[in-house]
Amino acid sequence: MTKKIVIVGGVAGGASAAARARRLSEDADIIVFERDSFISFANCGLPYHIGGEIEDRDALLVQTPESMKARFNLDIRIQSEVIGVDAERQEVTVRELASGREYSERYDDLILSPGAVPIVPPIPGVDSESVFTLRNIPDMDRIIRKINIEAPRSAVVVGGGYIGIEMAEALIHRGIETTMVELANQIMPPMDPEMAVPLHQEMRRNGVRLQLSDALEKVEETAEGLELSMRSGRSLQTDMVILAIGVRPENTLATMAGLAIGEKGGIQVDRTMKTSQPNIWAVGDAVEVRDFVTGAPAQIPLAGPANRQGRIAADNIFDLHSEYKDTQGTGICKVFELSAASTGASEKMLVAQGIDYEKIYVHGADHAGYYPGATQVHLKLVFDPKNGRVLGAQAVGAKGVDKRIDVLATAIRGGMTVFDLEEFELCYAPPFGSAKDVINQAGFVASNLCRGEHAVCHAEDLPEFSDDVVLVDVRNPTEITVLGSIDGSVNIPVNSLRDNLDRLPKDKTLVVYCAVGLRGYVAYRMLKNLGYQVKNMTGGYTTYQMVKRIGQ
Amino acid sequence: MTKKIVIVGGVAGGASAAARARRLSEDADIIVFERDSFISFANCGLPYHIGGEIEDRDALLVQTPESMKARFNLDIRIQSEVIGVDAERQEVTVRELASGREYSERYDDLILSPGAVPIVPPIPGVDSESVFTLRNIPDMDRIIRKINIEAPRSAVVVGGGYIGIEMAEALIHRGIETTMVELANQIMPPMDPEMAVPLHQEMRRNGVRLQLSDALEKVEETAEGLELSMRSGRSLQTDMVILAIGVRPENTLATMAGLAIGEKGGIQVDRTMKTSQPNIWAVGDAVEVRDFVTGAPAQIPLAGPANRQGRIAADNIFDLHSEYKDTQGTGICKVFELSAASTGASEKMLVAQGIDYEKIYVHGADHAGYYPGATQVHLKLVFDPKNGRVLGAQAVGAKGVDKRIDVLATAIRGGMTVFDLEEFELCYAPPFGSAKDVINQAGFVASNLCRGEHAVCHAEDLPEFSDDVVLVDVRNPTEITVLGSIDGSVNIPVNSLRDNLDRLPKDKTLVVYCAVGLRGYVAYRMLKNLGYQVKNMTGGYTTYQMVKRIGQ
Ligand SMILES: Cc1cc2nc3c(=O)[nH]c(=O)nc-3n(C[C@H](O)[C@H](O)[C@H](O)COP(=O)(O)OP(=O)(O)OC[C@H]3O[C@@H](n4cnc5c(N)ncnc54)[C@H](O)[C@@H]3O)c2cc1C
Ligand SMILES: Cc1cc2nc3c(=O)[nH]c(=O)nc-3n(C[C@H](O)[C@H](O)[C@H](O)COP(=O)(O)OP(=O)(O)OC[C@H]3O[C@@H](n4cnc5c(N)ncnc54)[C@H](O)[C@@H]3O)c2cc1C
Ligand SMILES: CC(C)(COP(=O)(O)OP(=O)(O)OC[C@H]1O[C@@H](n2cnc3c(N)ncnc32)[C@H](O)[C@@H]1OP(=O)(O)O)[C@@H](O)C(=O)NCCC(=O)NCCS
Ligand SMILES: CC(C)(COP(=O)(O)OP(=O)(O)OC[C@H]1O[C@@H](n2cnc3c(N)ncnc32)[C@H](O)[C@@H]1OP(=O)(O)O)[C@@H](O)C(=O)NCCC(=O)NCCS
């Protein structure tokens, strides 16, 4: 018997489900309803077309209704909003937006992939025509029109997540003075605050004015443009605002159909992407997933998961056993010349959920230091100190950040441990890596911690300068001259430590540190083996400075 | 009791063992004997200093005897060759190369890390001063001197492995006409021959004359330089020769000490790096390892394994339980603008060992096609069709090759399957990847094969044009005009297949193909579901052309 599949939403999750369904059955009736005029477009490319890197608007239209029809024989109905679901009768109600005509359509299986909606806070004036959100092609067109026609001199981006950062970069590329306002003390919320510090610096270096720990409270239209009032009491004059404070699951239909909805508004599904109602499936930004690492319910709006979930829903409609195995939230963002990426749990997430963890930092070269062009990768690794299981990783740098996080995402997916990282055999030739990659180094450091062979002290736990503790800076004097050091430290370069042991008391705790932790660790081992009480500051002065500058 | 550790060889394995030993014990006596004048240098950087990318020779000296002494309190004796081992008496005999003085030194533990020696075939004239090998700093200095003083116009590189390729690139950078002679029908021996085809093209595009399936048989010094005679009967005039046909384990001492030696000459060790004699350990290029995938004994001379093995030997000397878990042979080589990398088993290796496998090809973009600068990654995946276990991977492309192979190396290390690859969550934003990364796509394709949902035909098995088979090219006519197609194919673009079913017979086998396999697969699914007998050519016309050009 011919199956009739109705899909709501024709972009990442919906189009993937439709394509897979057709590949599984040549004779199924597959109808895709899309309220917009576009299907299968590259949401992720929108900021880059605004910024001008992607010159051709058509490049964003991965497939058109015509090409999808030709290739997959789909019945694609654009400008058609599904406004009702009757789960009992297996029927949806559709409104043709052009004509206003409404009709109903029966289904054997219904797949919801309605995505998410940008959050618009209920603040006065936010409905101004100069306040924008960015979710789809019409949103993008509106922003571009504003820029091209009105030539705004300044803009304020509210929200420092992926889209906010990409938009800030796009606006700067367009020569617009850009301010970013962010409620938290950091941008890039999936990362921990100290890891965002180099990103703050990079934003500022490129001309973005960053206003952290502040919030937009009021928008007023004035003769000159907009007047924004902030929670801090400050006010800002600007020509336009981009609101990018996050998205919430589009659950209107789901609620109407009586589907179970999670705490954060996501449609609840099982591992086959089935909702609480028979024959209704849901995928993409609209669904609640389980966090791969913590097992907690989560909303993680990313394109990869949406695409895969669409495929899985189609599989299960045709009785192929297929399960979605939770989301790690691997994500990356270009921040001007830097990239910032993360996977798995962040430290703050683990703290919030009361999960035991340990962490280390490694600041290593993306490829052999002796080959030209090497840059530093700042890598933070979070793991379970009891069994070494990798829980999460974050990296920031100019190059090779995606590679490290992809490898660590794979390690997390495979349930691997920091002891495994020691053994990873990664590509090495001078232009590409190091004989011991940053990841191996992170593995060594974390494994040493787990094995109790390396006692560390974290920058934020640095004991107040006290009589019981001696801070030993083992860098060279020139490094200290250039970069500064921690107040109250004694400087004894690692290579001359053995000649200066008399300067170190055995009855106090020594906290050693270097630039990144490596020489500090060599010093730690030496002193430990000599019977001193000693700890090494993980990540060295580099991490120390990041921690000290949190929120700046 | 103070341990006395003697180490032979002061570079990758030896220096790492020495450093780790000191970190484990402050009071051990650690003596490093190195017959050369340099320790801890970057072997891997030698070709790049010859080529001029690494300008500063000192950059190659990662550590000097002085710095290693200062940091690790080692007794480093350079220009000191260990010429004898008495395993019974736990003693080595050392010759000071400058003075000729010989003396013996007792050890509690002996670590051998003598490396490997370039293979020099026993052919007439090979001892000419204009024939070079490259292993260490003096070798490099000799080559540079030749180039700087004699300004050779032409050079012949014999051997197309990593070092041969890097040297060819270096010589071209120095403006020297370069010919590469290789006995096999391909360069980059760890890869399969069809994967080397783009590398051959890249070498030629950059001016290297490539002479495959040929061998050097005689060298004669003439008034003009060298006259080389080849097995093919050809002869070549040149000014210098770089011999880079591989290395053999340096096992002189090991043999002398009566250690067990493997078939290919490597010192046999257990997983703790212990040799067949008590208190003698061996690491690095000199040892025989086990192949991680096949379990077969192997010689895999790479820096990462050497470094890690050094650390492990030191650990075990101090009774820390530490095991070396076999070598995958993950390797990468820059080939002008391309990079070529591989991990795990190649197809030819599996064929040679009679191991069952299946393979697929994916040719995907390194990042989203709609974001500028995307280039193609050619990825070959080899796996066990019974359980989906990933056995090996090879990739060639301009960008993102190291990333893909590192992820796949991690997957292999974790014993993961092609089904896992479908689920990998990798970094995606337009400048870095795709919502479905090349690796996910490879996972989909391979998983479909394993599940019997995708019947493929390999380019080399393409049936001779016969009445029982219809070849269907589903690309667009313009692609065929530009790139050509396979003789005897019918062209029906995938998007118009449904309208042309009458042109396809149901009683014959249809072999469909497109550019890379994706549209061929869509066509395959459609036709299969319609009851046709059909196969898709994996990797499409791109792989077909690579296979057809093997050996060219
Ligand atoms: C600017 C921007 C940049 C992004 N960058 C990245 C990135 O770099 N990496 C990444 O992984 N992710 C990125 N994302 C997120 C990614 O695009 C989403 O995770 C993904 O598109 C979600 O797919 P989906 O199918 O759930 O929703 P969508 O792709 O949003 O599709 C939902 C569709 O359903 C339609 N719809 C909703 N309700 C109805 C209805 N009742 N009737 C008919 N149609 C309806 C909507 O019009 C919409 O077209 C970005 C998103 C945006 C907006
Ligand atoms: C040109 C070149 C490029 C390379 N590129 C790469 C690359 O890109 N990636 C990669 O992974 N690997 C690369 N390698 C391989 C890598 O350098 C080796 O795998 C690694 O150095 C092996 O370490 P080892 O300690 O076993 O040997 P070595 O590093 O060679 O050290 C052995 C040392 O022992 C000394 N020695 C030997 N016998 C005695 C004795 N009897 N007494 C005293 N001293 C002795 C030798 O003089 C030598 O210095 C490259 C090698 C070369 C030569
Ligand atoms: C365009 C779109 C509909 C394509 O969906 P799709 O056909 O499922 O995906 P792809 O084109 O990547 O093809 C994947 C299929 O081809 C197969 N395939 C991929 N490469 C192949 C190859 N070289 N050989 C054989 N088969 C191949 C895969 O197995 C998979 O098929 P399966 O699911 O039946 O196993 C969907 O990706 C889309 O709408 N994208 C734009 C929207 C979007 O994702 N936005 C957010 C990101 S910006
Ligand atoms: C220079 C050389 C002797 C260094 O050896 P090493 O000290 O073992 O290696 P590294 O400098 O990378 O340091 C690694 C150690 O520092 C620790 N470490 C690394 N980064 C750290 C950090 N950020 N914080 C704390 N500890 C750190 C590791 O845990 C490891 O110690 P362990 O083995 O006791 O666990 C050796 O690598 C060498 O000779 N290299 C040149 C030769 C060579 O490899 N050639 C071939 C490639 S071109």
Mutation target vs A (from B292, B428, B454; most A CBs, 10 A cutoff): B428
| CA dist A295 → A298, A306, B406 (Å) | 9, 19, 27
Residue A43 and residue A285 in contact, taking contact as beta carbons nearer than 8 Å: no
pLDDT, average across residues A423-439: 98
Contacting residues for A213 by C-beta, under 8 A, at least 6 apart: A182, A183, A184, A185, A232, A551
Which candidate in B425, B432, B476, B534 is best for mutational testing of the A interface (most A CBs within 10 A)? B425
Asked if A67's CB is within 8 angstroms of B331's CB, the reply is no
Number of neighbours of residue B171 by Cβ within 10 angstroms: 28
pTM of the model: 0.98
CA distance A456 to A450: 11
Q: Which atom of ligand 1 is nearest to the CA of A45?
A: 3
pLDDT at B466 over 80: no
Domain positions in chain B are 4-115+248-317, 131-245, 337-450, 457-538
Residue with tokens 């062979």: A453
pLDDT digits (tens, 9 = 90+) for A264-302: 999 999 999 999 999 999 999 999 999 999 999 999 999
pLDDT of residue B463: 73
pLDDT tens digits for range A46-67: 999 999 999 999 999 988 999 9
Chain B: closest CA distance from residue A55 (Å): 9
Among the atoms of ligand 3, which is closest to the Cα of residue B525? 34
Distances (CA, A) of B288 to B263, B269, B270, B312: 9, 7, 10, 15
- The predicted-structure confidence for A154-167, as pLDDT tens digits, reads as follows 999 999 999 999 99
Q: Determine whether the interchain pair B329/A304 forms a contact, defined as Cβ–Cβ distance below 8 Å.
A: no
User: Does residue B6 register a pLDDT over 80?
Assistant: yes
**Which CATH number is B337-450's, of 3.40.50.2000, 3.50.50.60, 2.40.30.10, 3.40.50.740?**
3.50.50.60
Would B4-115+248-317 and B131-245 be classified into the same CATH topology? yes
Distance CA A278, CA A423 (A): 47
A436 touches chain B (CB under 8 A): yes
Q: State chain A's mean pLDDT as an integer.
A: 97
Q: Using pLDDT thresholds of 50, 70 and 90, give the confidence band for residue B465.
A: low
What residues in B contact A422, CB-CB < 8 Å?
308
Position A523 confidence tier, pLDDT thresholds 50, 70, 90: very high
Question: Does the ipTM surpass 0.95?
Answer: yes
Instruction: Give CA–CA dist A434/A441, Å, rounded.
Output: 10
> Which of B330, B435, B521 has the CB atom closest to A304's CB atom?
B435
A405, A343 Cβ separation under 8 angstroms: yes
Instruction: Name the amino acid, one letter, at B164.
Output: G
User: What architecture is domain A4-115+248-317?
Assistant: 3-Layer(bba) Sandwich (3.50)
C-beta B20 within 6 A of ligand 4:
yes
Q: Does A455 touch chain B (CB under 8 A)?
A: no
Which atom belonging to ligand 4 lies closest to the Cα atom of A368?
48
Q: Is the pLDDT of residue A180 over 90?
A: yes
| Residue A248 alpha carbon to ligand 1 centre in Å | 11
**What are the distances in angstroms from CA B177 to CA B141, B171, B232, B242, B292?**
20, 8, 21, 13, 40
The Cα A410–Cα B394 span in angstroms is 18
Contact A406 B428 (CB under 8 A): no
Minimal Cα distance from A441: which residue of B?
Answer: B308
Asked whether residue A463 carries a pLDDT value surpassing 90, the answer given is no
At A462, the pLDDT band (50, 70, 90 cuts) reads confident
Section B511-530 average pLDDT: 98
Pocket test for ligand 4, best of A427, A444, A449, A514 (most atoms within 8 A of CB): A444
Closest ligand to residue A64's CA: 3
CA distances from B495 to A65, B425, B476, B499, B519 (A): 13, 31, 9, 9, 9
> How many angstroms separate the CA of residue B522 from the nearest CA in chain A?
7
Which CATH superfamily does the domain covering B457-538 fall into?
Answer: Rhodanese-like domain (3.40.250.10)
Q: With 80 as the cut, is the pLDDT of residue B99 above it?
A: yes
pLDDT at position A548: 96
* pLDDT, tens digit (0-9, with 9 covering 90-100), for B206-238: 999 999 999 999 999 999 999 999 999 999 999
Residues of B designated as active site: 44
Sorting pLDDT into bands at 50, 70 and 90, what band is A466? confident
Cβ atoms of B378 and B198 within 8 Å: the answer is yes
Q: What is the pLDDT of residue B325?
A: 97
Q: How far apart, in whole angstroms, are the C-alpha atoms of residue A182 and residue A214?
A: 6
In 3D, which of A119, A79, A110, A85 has the Cα closest to residue A253? A85
DSSP string, A108-121: SEEEE---EEE---
User: Does residue A1 register a pLDDT over 90?
Assistant: no
How far is residue A116 from each of residues A256, A261, A286, A303, B262, measured CA to CA in Å? 16, 14, 6, 12, 62
Share of chain A above pLDDT 90, in %: 98
* Cβ atoms within 10 Å of A344's Cβ, excluding its own: 29
pLDDT digits (tens, 9 = 90+) for A347-381: 999 999 999 999 999 999 999 999 999 999 999 99
Cα of A16 vs centre of ligand 3, distance in Å, is: 7
The ligand that comes nearest to the alpha carbon of residue A365 is 4
Q: Is B354 helix (H, G, I), strand (E, B) or coil?
A: coil
The residues with which A84 forms a beta bridge, in sequence order, are A93
Task: Calculate helix-pair angle for B401-413, B438-450, nearest 10 degrees.
Answer: 50
Q: A107 and A4 in contact (C-beta within 8 Å)?
A: yes
Ligand at minimal distance from the CA of A170 is 1
pLDDT for residue A130 is more than 70: yes
Question: Average pLDDT, stretch B164-189?
Answer: 98
For B335, the 3-state DSSP assignment is: strand
**Measured CA angle at A263 (ends A124, A412), to 5 deg:** 115
pLDDT-above-90 percentage for chain B: 98
Helix (H) or strand (E) holding A238: strand A235-238
Report the pLDDT averaged over residues B482-495.
96
Strands (E), B246-336: 247-249, 267-268, 280-282, 287-290, 297-298, 331-335
Q: Which of A71, A292, A414 is nearest residue B495 as measured by Cβ atoms?
A: A71
Query: CA–CA separation, A527 vs B26, rounded Å?
Result: 9
Span A388-403, average pLDDT: 98
Could you identify the atom of ligand 1 that is nearest to the CA of residue B429? 8
Q: Is B419 on the interface with A (CB under 8 A)?
A: no
For ligand 4, is residue A518 a contact (CB within 6 Å)? yes
Tell me how far CA of residue A339 lies from CA of A202, A361, A376, B315, in angstroms: 10, 17, 12, 37
Residue A388 Cα, gap to closest chain B Cα (Å): 15
How far is the C-alpha of B169 from the C-alpha of B50, rounded, in Å? Answer: 10
Nearest to B32 by CA among B56, B52, B16: B16
Which band of pLDDT confidence, cut at 50, 70 and 90, is reported for residue A465?
A: low
Task: Kindly report the CATH class assigned to B131-245.
Answer: alpha beta
Distance CA B395, CA B196 (A): 10
No. of H helices and E strands in chain A? Answer: 15, 31
| Nearest-CB residue to B45 (from A308, A430, A522) | A430
The total number of residues written for chain B in this structure: 552
Band of the pLDDT at A222, cuts 50, 70, 90?
very high
Which residues 6+ apart lie within 8 Å of B412 measured at CB?
A: B292, B293, B328, B343, B344, B390, B391, B392, B393
With CA atoms as reference, the chain B residue closest to A63 would be B370
Residues 6+ apart with CB under 8 A from A395: A340, A341, A342, A377, A378, A379, A380, A401, A404, A405
Q: Is B435 on the interface with A (CB under 8 A)?
A: yes
Q: Which residues does B371 contact at the CB level (< 8 Å), separation at least 6?
A: A45, A48, A53, A54, B430, B431
Is the model's pLDDT at B428 over the cut of 80?
yes
In the predicted structure, residue A464 carries a pLDDT above the cut 80: no
Residue A312 neighbours by CB under 8 Å, 6+ apart: A272, A273, A283, A322, A323, A324
Note whether B405 contacts A: Cβ–Cβ < 8 A.
yes
Whole-number average pLDDT of chain B: 97
Q: Kindly state the percentage of chain B with pLDDT values over 70.
A: 100
